[in-house]
Structure formats: structure tokens, C-alpha cells
Amino acid sequence: MVSIKDIAKSVGVSTATVSKALNHKSGVSQTVRNQIIEKAKEMGYVVNGLARGMKISKTFTVGVLVSDIKNPFFSEVISAMERVLYAKKYNLMICNVGENPQKEVEYLELLVSKKVDGLIVAPAAEGQNLSIYRNLVRHGMKIVLFDRLIDSVNCDSVVIDNRASIYEVTKYLKDRGHKKIGSIYGIEKSYTGHERLNGFKEAIEELNLEYHKEWVRSGFFREEDSYKQSLEILAKSSKPTAIIAMNNFSTLGLMRAVKELEIKVPDDLSIIGFDDAEWMKVCSPSITTVIQPADAIGMTAATLLLDAIENENIHTIQHVVLKAKLIERESVKSLI
């Protein structure tokens, strides 16, 4: 590979001059500068990012940790981040940790060793790597948490108002005459799972709705589990009139069960989903759902991180809470 040294030799100057010329820094005559740039292009020179990164302690790389790239919510968030970071010439290193804390640790270490300039993380469910995050922050690593929070880590974050939005849709159902409401919730120990479930429970209580343990089941944010739990709920003779599914996979599982049991939606059962997926507006009936502003989440997270990286001294930590939005489609029937 051609290096700065080769160019220097070829043009007849020192490497210092070449470096300055190629980085558009002052202290090089116009003539020499042009010669160098010309030669560099001719020889097909590409800077060695390792050497450069080592010297200037900056890699223009950001690590992203999510639990599942296949989840359309995360792909959309990541896609938005990419847009923002690309504009500033940053690269992202994406790590898929599943819900595996051990893998999370390994990837974190890998990213640290790769000297990423910052991290954007949706921490794994159990939150047991808390001390690692705290340690990273203490050592000056720039971190933005999104989707899931860890209270005790002092860094920027972007989440939605999970609790409020589930509360709201529960009320939405009540307002339409639903009194028997069930739900397929997620991973209770995870931030989102916990918050959403709590929003639901609060609503049930405060709005004086019936609470049936059999109607409120965890699908672990997975399609298969949600499908099975949905079957359980819907097999009973005493069924809810509406079910809230608390993420996209839960919604999918619920839909599968409904289809299999040939239950008519919304006539026999009303459904509210969570997250948006393109199919939700295409299928019949289309799904009324709570949409997370995935794009905004990604952009905000990336922007916060860039700010933290590039304005190290004046950056103040922010906790952004975005609003989720209920989109009314065809899967809810008014009983009034």
C-alpha cells in the first residue's frame, strides 16, 4: 500500500509537508501542495486510518449495540443514525447482542479496543452490565442510551414515553366501550417491557377496568411466545373484547393466533398493536397501533452523540423523551 512516505519521496519533500498538504493545513506553498495532491491521486493513496486514528485519538467510528437488527424498529432507528453520521463522515459498527449479557460485554470490549469515538446503545434486557457502562462513562466514553434506560448511568438518552402511551391507548379503548382488556406484554425485566406493562396496569386500576390475570400475558417480545399466549387468552370462554400487543413481534404473534382461530377483527376482538411495520396498514383489517418515532429516535441519538463527541467541553447531558403516537386504523371497534 502506498504511504505518505512514498509520496514524500516521489515529490521530493518530507512527510510532514505531505501530511499538511493532504489535510489542507497551512504551511505549504500552493505549488507544492498541488504537486502532492496530484501525486497522491496518481498513486492511489488512501490514508491509513489506523495510523491516523492512533495519532489523533479519533477514529470517526461509532459503535451501535442493539438486541436484534432484524427487528424493523431497530433497523429503522439504525438507518436514521446512519444518515446523520454519514453526513459527518462517521462509520457505524453494528453489534447484535440478542438478549445475551455476555455477548454484550464482549462486544463492548471489542468496541473499546477498536477505539470507537462513542457508543449508541439499547442495553440488553436484564441491565446486569450496569457497572460496565458506568465505568465506560467514568473513563470518558461518550454514550447515548436509547429505547431502554439505565437510570444510574450518567449519559445522554432517548426514549419514548412508554408508560403514558400505553395508558393512553388503554383509555382509548375504554372510551370506546371496552371494559375487558387484555394484553400481550414483553420482557418484564426490560425497561420497555416494564414501563409499558406498568402503564397498562395503572390504566386498568385508575380507569376501573376489569383485571384478569389470564388476559395479561408475557410474549417476551417474541412472535412465537406471543402467538402461544394469545391462543391461551383467546381459548378461554371468558375472553377480553380487546387486546393490546406491546411491540411489533407481539402484534404479529397475536395476529397469527387470531387468524388461526378465525376470530373476526374487529367485530369479535379489537386489537391495538405497538410499533409500526409497513404491513400493518396493508393487511385486512389494517392495524391500529402505537407508532414509535423510530426515525426521530435514531436521528436524535446520533445527533446527541455527535454533539457529545465534537463539543466535548460544552456538551451537557440530555434526556430526551419523544412522544409515541396512536394511529387509528381498522382493528378497533367501538362498542358504544
The span from the CA of 184 to the CA of 209, in Å, is: 17
Residue 10 contacts DNA per CB under 7 A: no
Residue 103 contacts a copy of itself per CB under 8 A: yes
DSSP 8-state secondary structure symbol assigned to residue 180: B
The span from the CA of 39 to the CA of 44, in Å, is: 8
Q: Are 123 and 97 in contact (CB under 8 A)?
A: no
**Cell numbers given for 48:** 491509513
In a 13 Å sphere around the CA of 311, the CA atoms on its Cβ side amount to 9
The span from the CA of 133 to the CA of 126, in Å, is: 13
| Binder among 28, 77, 108, 120 for DNA (CB under 7 A) | 28
- Residue 25 or 70 with smaller CB distance to DNA: 25
Number of residues that bind DNA (CB under 7 A): 30
Residue 89 contacts DNA per CB under 7 A: no
Q: Which of residues 269-308 bind a copy of itself (CB under 8 A)?
A: 277-284, 286
Q: Are 90 and 61 in contact (CB under 8 A)?
A: yes
Residue 141 contacts DNA per CB under 7 A: no
The span from the CA of 66 to the CA of 72, in Å, is: 12
Residue 49 contacts a copy of itself per CB under 8 A: yes
Q: Which one of the spans 42-50, 68-76, 88-96, 121-129 is the region binding DNA (CB under 7 A)?
A: 42-50
SS3 336: coil
Closest contact distance (angstroms) between CB of 284 and a copy of itself is 5
Q: Which of residues 233-272 bind DNA (CB under 7 A)?
A: none
Task: For strands 325-327 and 288-291, give the pairing.
Answer: antiparallel
Q: What residues form DSSP beta bridges with 218?
A: 185
β-sheet with 270-274: strand ranges across: 216-218, 181-185, 242-245, 270-274, 288-291, 325-327
In the list DNA, a copy of itself, none, the entry touching 335 (Cβ below 5 to 8 angstroms by class) is none
| Binder among 9, 88, 259, 319 for a copy of itself (CB under 8 A) | 259
Q: Which residues of the shown chain bind DNA in the complex (CB under 7 A)?
A: 1, 3-5, 12-17, 19-20, 22-23, 25-32, 45, 47-48, 51-52, 54-56
Q: Which residues of the shown chain bind a copy of itself in the complex (CB under 8 A)?
A: 1, 44, 46-51, 53-54, 59, 61, 68-70, 72, 75-76, 78-79, 82-83, 86, 89, 91-96, 103, 109-115, 135, 139, 223, 252, 255-256, 259, 277-284, 286
